[in-house]
Structure 1
Amino acid sequence: MPLRSALLAGIALHLPAYALARPVPPPSAQTGPAAAPDASLATRAGKGSSLLAPGTDGAIGKPGDVVDFAADAMDYTDAERIVTATGHVAINRDRYALTADTVVYNRTSGQVEARGNVTTTDPEGNKAFGDRIMLTDALKDGAIDNILLVLADGGRLAAESAIRVNGVSTLNRAIYSPCAVEGGDGCPKRPVWAIKAVRITHDPARHRISYRDARVEILGLPIVFLPSFSHPDGSSGRASGFLVPEIEIRSSLGFGVGVPYHLDLGPDRDVTIKPWLFTGVKPALDIRARQLFKAGPVQLHAYMTYGEVIDFAPVGLRMINRGQRPRGYFELNGQLQHDDEWRSTFVSRLSSDDTFDRRYGLDYDDTLRSTYNLERFRTNSYLSIAGWGFQNLRANKGRDTTPIVLPLIDYDWRPQATILGGRLDLSANSMSVVRISGQDVQRATLRGEWARSWLTGLGQRVTGTVLLRGDLYNTTDRIRATLPNYRGNEGFQTRGIAAAAVDAEWPFSGPALGGTQTITPHVQIVAAPLNLNRGVPNEDSRSNDFEDTNLFVLNRFSGFDRFESGTHLSYGLQYGLTRAHFRFSSEIGASVRLDGVGTGRFLAGTGLSGQFSDIVGRNTLQYGSLLSITQRFRIDSRNGNVRRNEIDIAAGNSQTYLTVGYAYLNRNILLEDLRDFQEVRAGARVALSRFWSAYGTVIIDLTTKSQERTTTANGYQPIRHRIGLQYEDSCFRLGATWRRDYTSDRDFRAGDSYIFTIAFKNLGR
């Protein structure tokens, strides 16, 4: 049986999906006139032909219309007023085009009949292919036998017959699929999914495809029967309608089904509303809204339900049921560019209670942060006016001691002109921290820093730095500070800081191992007055850890509230080796305090509390884009114990990759902000084939009681893992994920979750 006959045999509901794979004529036969090499002007009628031109009796089009016409040969019968064109026939009128082997035009009735390799194209770019077509002389309306309709986005419809009226095509006993119908070898293949229907209607003006008595098939197997439905044709980008349902099975919620509805409110805004039904809890409503303002995008996410809240009793560890009440999560974020200089960035996150986010799989953070930041960018200056709010979701929280930071102001100005050959940096900072029950602090800071670099005749780079700073503090309710180390003196207090530093680097470079190596000794001395932190509250300098990134800085405290006192000498060695597609770098260093033990006032366990600091370093290896390994470490200088060891590994490409992160902190710090832990995280994705992939992630707590006395882990405690399998091609996605949580917190219980996803192109994908 010829290929064409085989592809089109048995249309209707018995129409095979292979009918969608009918060969499409080459572009030269679909688009404009294509003259035979030996065609003469006499046998190829062009624009304004006396037989078909506008303005003649029964001509194609109306007077004033532009009609392009071409053919290899043409015959005209005077008695019947019939024009017959043969060979590479092409007609274009008002952005409608027709090509065929033969076209018969009846000037009396105005009917156009095309036969053999027929192709019609509408102004939207949709193409219809058939064996025979009957059209009006406007080329818009008509009937087609054995039709294949190729949409502008690549989707295909095939049918026994079709009619087109006012640009709307109605196909009888038809099939639709946006999937590929040819394999890599060019042979026809069954599309991954298709829709068969008694009737399919395509309306290009509304960008929709409608069905009557339809069934959806995946790999030829019927999945669902739908008496009537419609979906976008893929040409408009977005449209309102139901999306593909989502299915989840969670140990804390039961079996759940979500049915999203997408509401397209315009080219710059939309809303997706997704009701959820669960077997274990009450229904929930998930709403996501987006709007693109002239200044920038804004997104909103709200998840709401009504149910029981389980919490700890005010005294003791007993859990109590607080009864039925509204529960939910709210998030608003966006970025608005007001003009060339001013920009706003904001994020607001709120939860009705401590466990809602985790129980419904929305988030696993134990602290929700909300912020607004208004920024101004200029060539030599930067201004930020921000505010921060926090919601503590931990069980042992002190809700009334959670801070609100408003405002937080930063200003930085760097004049273009040099001063004494160096660069000047002037900055200001202001912060206000308030609590319902706790220490409140207001701070204002002015800072000026001057730095100049020299290159010596031997190749050393020497940098001199001078810093002057003045602080003003106002502290109230100091007695309510969570820890004595954080308290400041009650009332107003001033502080002046003067510091100076000299930094010297001496790089040596040369060939090695087929590449280039660089060895750089590095020395820095910093001097500042003693006892700079006495009576000053500590709000933003609590989490301190000595590492390679702050080895050569003036102040190794984080934030503004603490400044490193006294004089210290830092020294280190940097090494780098670079070859084609290969790079290795290493750094190791330490510091020594020159004016006695403890003058810097660092806490024990930070690596800087003694006269001799711990040894810190970093190793980085990179091989092209396939492998990256980074290690950071800190070693106790007194006994050689490893106090910190962090390793991050990334290997693979965008299709198959592995990431591993290991963190070991053994610092013996008693403050809650700096608890020790040991943890490993891993994630991987493996491309099993062109369309199939498997993926997984895992988090394991390796902390022991000897390492951190407050931990509940036993040395090997999985936190969470996720394993999934996914199929994805250009028109279809199917995935299944198994996730297990190993920890519980009140009504968030350890257990399994199963998430199933399916997406069809143009059906809510």
Structure 2
Amino acid sequence: MTSAALAGVMLANPAAAQVDDPSVAGASPAPDTQEIGFAADQLDYDQEKDIVTASGNVRMERDGNHVRADRIIWDRRTGEVRAEGSVIVDGAGGDRAFGDHVLLKESLRDGIVENLLIVLNNGGRLVADRATRTDGISKLDRAVYSPCRVIDDKGCPKEPVWKITAVRVSHDPKRNRISYRDARLEMFGVPVLALPGLSHPADDRGGTGFLIPNIQYLRNTGLEIATPFYLALDTNRDLTITPHIYTAVAPLLELEYRHLTRGGAYRLAGFGTYGERVSTSTPGQSAQNDFRGYFEGSGRFQLDRRWSVTSAFRFASDRTFLRRYDISRDDRLRSTANVERITRSNYLSISGWAFQTLRSGEVQDQFPFALPAIDWRKRLADPWAGGQFEFQLNSMALLRSTGQDTQRAFAGARWDLQGITPLGQELKFTAYGRTDVYHTDEVNLTSTADYRGENGWNTRAVAAFATEMRWPLVGAFLNGQQRLTPRLQLVASPGTSNLRVPNEDARAVDLEDSNLFALNRFPGYDRWEDSTRLTYGADWTWSGTDLRIDTNIGQSFRVSATNRVFPDGTGLFGRTSDIVGRTNVRFKNTLNFTHRYRLDKDNLAVRRNEIDASIGNNRTYASIGYLRLNRDIGPQLEDLRDREEVRLGGRLQFARYWSVFGSTTIDLTGRQEDPTSLANGYEPVRHRLGIAYEDDCLTFGVTWRRDYDAQGDARRGNTFQLRLSFRNLGR
């Protein structure tokens, strides 16, 4: 058969010709009757030898395996396929191999490759002088693996940041595993570590094996080496076992189990050791050996389109375990379970809460269990005026082992109507009503009288009517656009018996810009702001090409008698409130500055001064946070104590991949702000300083941290941490 005849076959379907076409196959059938896709600029067929020679942009495909080359010679009698010139072999699993000369079997899966380069799904590369593939498993001789870049920004070759060299490498796509013999790690061209028996997953799916160790030194536990072992139980389940070895204390074992199900996911984790425990409640008591541990878990399940279940729990064996072993700085642990039903107009939540305190001065038995806490809401359109109704039913029971118990239930309704006048004013009308029922006992066990309420059953009715007007005024200003919005709100609410019922959820009250125009400025349901008040203020926004400024300011005036339910110092005591405001300035993505403040209504003294600012980009930045609460509220209200602190942080990139970073938190609270404080007005809380290297395939860092707070066997001191992460390896 001539070349011209073969060319005619190709022209019939230039995208792909089938070489088992009778006009090409002749009298000798292929060893396997499975169809092979073939395309080329030119085909030559030697009918006597049964050899097909394709040249010019040749493409061959079978069972998801693809071969591209400048020239392919296919011996149909032996089943050998020889590819030459810029050969690219794409496997069914998505990996891609490059070579100068490739000898394949007819399946296009097995064969021999010279000067091989394999590009894996996750960006890793395998290079070898020679490789053989049998049953889909590649054996590479004198091979190198690295996910790092091998060319610089100018397109010139460069040495990878790290690579693994080996006498032989095995790549098994079915097991998703790359295994090495006589492996050695090189960093920046220098051999640093022998890695006998090394293997790792070929992509990002993960596989069973050891992860990169974590190394750090802590004042409380000495030198620590943690070597995680990752166990892939299934495609949707895994277990990580991490033994922590210390030089100063007994070893600790950490377990983490994760499971992704059809309806959701959950995670369980635990830490455990047997070691010394120092009591925080009895100073001077000698340490005793005992089991110490911490357990946590979380999960979420979507039962159907409307119903879901969410849960989380945390429990520590004692008050200093988390800090001593540097697991967490949290000093209160919260556990919860919640069942929710959500539709377009309905919401139902049935939940429970439990709390554990780790603070040395607090009594655990005085922390409540909230079980159950039920909240139901429904929205309905107003068919008469065009507004919207919202109905709510809520109940909660708080139970304490030693302390006041409270049960509460209420039913409420709210109506809102919004509209715009012909002059552009935005009007909003609100009507609200609620009936509460409380039952309380053992109120004398609550130390703060304002929080107790009265023993037994009590009922209360609250109501309010409010109208609010906003008038946005828009115009050009200083080469930008500005919007000035005066705001005016009138709220009328008849007097109600606040102090007869306990205060469990509305203790941390403080006037801010965020709650100035709220219907009730208390944060919870147990306290209600009655009387009639007028609130006024303004919002102003200016936006230019790169700069944006948002600011607001406001104050309220109580028309009726003074409301005594607010503690003096919260900004809401008396007829006239304090002045509150907020300013935010943003310049591109470089500068972000926010200032919140509260000024005393009588002498403009600063009662709240809060600043959060950051400048820079992801590589180099500086941040500052400052807070001072100067409310002059007595120490009997622990939720409203004054404090002052400053937070500083920053990062400086001094080379392309190198940076230094640091942060500090300083407690500036003195006895002038808080009479119960033992600080002298300058008490460091925590310092941190480090240096890091980070590029596309390697992260390395050393961090020093000093903690100044001590409690029990969690002593103040230094921590040194080493962080090392290789892309695609051990993580």
- TM-score of the superposition, structure 2-length normalised? 0.92
Cα pair 1:719 1:743 within 8 Å, conserved? yes
CA distance in 1, matches of 2:54, 2:532: 98
TM-superposed CA distance for 1:503, in Å, is 2.8
Residue of structure 2 in register with 1:757 after alignment: 723
CA 1:600 to 1:457, structure 2 compared with 1: closer, same or farther past 3 Å? farther
1:281 pairs, out of 242, 245, 249, with 249
CA 1:476 to 1:199, structure 2 compared with 1: closer, same or farther past 3 Å? same
Residue of structure 1 in register with 2:639 after alignment: 673
Residue of structure 1 in register with 2:692 after alignment: 726
Deviation sequence 1:319-345 (CA, Å, 0-9, x none): 423511111111111222221112222
TM-superposed CA distance for 1:54, in Å, is 5.8
Residue of structure 1 in register with 2:260 after alignment: 292
Deviation sequence 1:500-545 (CA, Å, 0-9, x none): 3333334433332223333333333323333521321111111110
Cα pair 1:274 1:286 within 8 Å, conserved? yes
Residue of structure 1 in register with 2:627 after alignment: 663
Residue of structure 1 in register with 2:403 after alignment: 438
2:26 matches 1:62: no
Residue of structure 1 in register with 2:112 after alignment: 143
Residue of structure 2 in register with 1:717 after alignment: 683
TM-superposed CA distance for 1:567, in Å, is 2.5
TM-superposed CA distance for 1:310, in Å, is 1.1
1:464 alignment partner, SS class? strand
Equivalent positions of 1:217-366 (< 5 A) are 217-234=186-203, 237-314=205-282, 318-366=283-331
Deviation sequence 1:468-522 (CA, Å, 0-9, x none): 2211111111111131111121111111223333333344333322233333333
Cα pair 2:595 2:610 within 8 Å, conserved? yes
Residue of structure 1 in register with 2:143 after alignment: 174
2:464 matches 1:503: no
Equivalent positions of 1:85-96 (< 5 A) are 90-96=59-65
CA distance in 1, matches of 2:425, 2:55: 85
TM-superposed CA distance for 1:85, in Å, is 5.7
Between 445-454 and 671-680, the greater mean CA deviation after superposition: 445-454
2:153 matches 1:184: yes
CA distance in 2, matches of 1:125, 1:412: 51
Residue of structure 2 in register with 1:738 after alignment: 704
CA 1:111 to 1:659, structure 2 compared with 1: closer, same or farther past 3 Å? same
2:11 matches 1:47: no
CA distance in 2, matches of 1:758, 1:643: 46
Residue identity in the other structure for 1:164: R
Deviation sequence 1:291-317 (CA, Å, 0-9, x none): 222222212221221211112344xxx
Q: Give structure 1 stretches of 5+ with no counterpart.
A: 1-35
1:223 alignment partner, SS class? strand
Cα pair 1:55 1:63 within 8 Å, conserved? no
Residue of structure 1 in register with 2:389 after alignment: 424
1:645 alignment partner, SS class? strand
Once superposed, what is the RMSD of the aligned Cα atoms? 2.8
TM-superposed CA distance for 1:123, in Å, is 2.3
TM-superposed CA distance for 1:119, in Å, is 4.0
Equivalent positions of 1:599-618 (< 5 A) are 599-618=563-582
Cα pair 1:313 1:319 within 8 Å, conserved? no
Cα pair 1:468 1:498 within 8 Å, conserved? yes
Cα pair 2:7 2:43 within 8 Å, conserved? no
1:392 pairs, out of 335, 357, 365, with 357
Residue identity in the other structure for 2:407: Q
CA distance in 2, matches of 1:210, 1:77: 44
TM-superposed CA distance for 1:392, in Å, is 0.8
TM-superposed CA distance for 1:274, in Å, is 1.0
Deviation sequence 1:62-95 (CA, Å, 0-9, x none): 23433526464647495x7766666655544444
Residue identity in the other structure for 1:747: D
CA 1:68 to 1:637, structure 2 compared with 1: closer, same or farther past 3 Å? same
Equivalent positions of 1:297-696 (< 5 A) are 297-314=265-282, 318-453=283-418, 455-456=420-421, 458-530=423-495, 532-597=497-562, 599-670=563-634, 671-696=637-662
1:228 alignment partner, SS class? coil
1:485 alignment partner, SS class? helix
Deviation sequence 1:148-180 (CA, Å, 0-9, x none): 333343322222322222121112222222222
Cα pair 1:564 1:600 within 8 Å, conserved? no
Identity of aligned pairs, percent? 42
CA 1:214 to 1:418, structure 2 compared with 1: closer, same or farther past 3 Å? same
CA 1:417 to 1:567, structure 2 compared with 1: closer, same or farther past 3 Å? closer
CA 1:434 to 1:623, structure 2 compared with 1: closer, same or farther past 3 Å? same
TM-superposed CA distance for 1:434, in Å, is 0.9
CA distance in 2, matches of 1:88, 1:296: 48
Residue identity in the other structure for 2:409: A
CA distance in 1, matches of 2:50, 2:374: 86
CA distance in 2, matches of 1:138, 1:448: 73
2:514 alignment partner, SS class? helix
TM-superposed CA distance for 1:648, in Å, is 1.5
CA distance in 2, matches of 1:340, 1:264: 31
Residue of structure 2 in register with 1:706 after alignment: 672
TM-superposed CA distance for 1:584, in Å, is 1.9
Cα pair 2:443 2:453 within 8 Å, conserved? yes
Deviation sequence 1:425-477 (CA, Å, 0-9, x none): 22121111110111101011111223334545554444333322211111111
Cα pair 1:660 1:683 within 8 Å, conserved? yes
Residue of structure 2 in register with 1:194 after alignment: 163
Deviation sequence 1:243-296 (CA, Å, 0-9, x none): 111111111111111111111122222121111111111111122222222222
CA distance in 2, matches of 1:462, 1:574: 16
CA 1:487 to 1:113, structure 2 compared with 1: closer, same or farther past 3 Å? closer
CA distance in 1, matches of 2:426, 2:102: 82
Residue identity in the other structure for 2:600: D
CA distance in 2, matches of 1:203, 1:56: 38
CA 1:216 to 1:468, structure 2 compared with 1: closer, same or farther past 3 Å? same
TM-superposed CA distance for 1:420, in Å, is 4.2
TM-superposed CA distance for 1:663, in Å, is 0.8
CA distance in 1, matches of 2:75, 2:425: 93
Residue identity in the other structure for 1:619: T
CA distance in 2, matches of 1:300, 1:758: 26
CA 1:136 to 1:379, structure 2 compared with 1: closer, same or farther past 3 Å? closer
Aligned length: 722
CA distance in 2, matches of 1:626, 1:604: 40
Residue identity in the other structure for 2:573: S
Cα pair 2:538 2:552 within 8 Å, conserved? yes
TM-superposed CA distance for 1:762, in Å, is 2.7
Equivalent positions of 1:199-218 (< 5 A) are 199-218=168-187
Q: Give structure 2 stretches of 5+ with no counterpart.
A: none
CA distance in 2, matches of 1:402, 1:276: 33
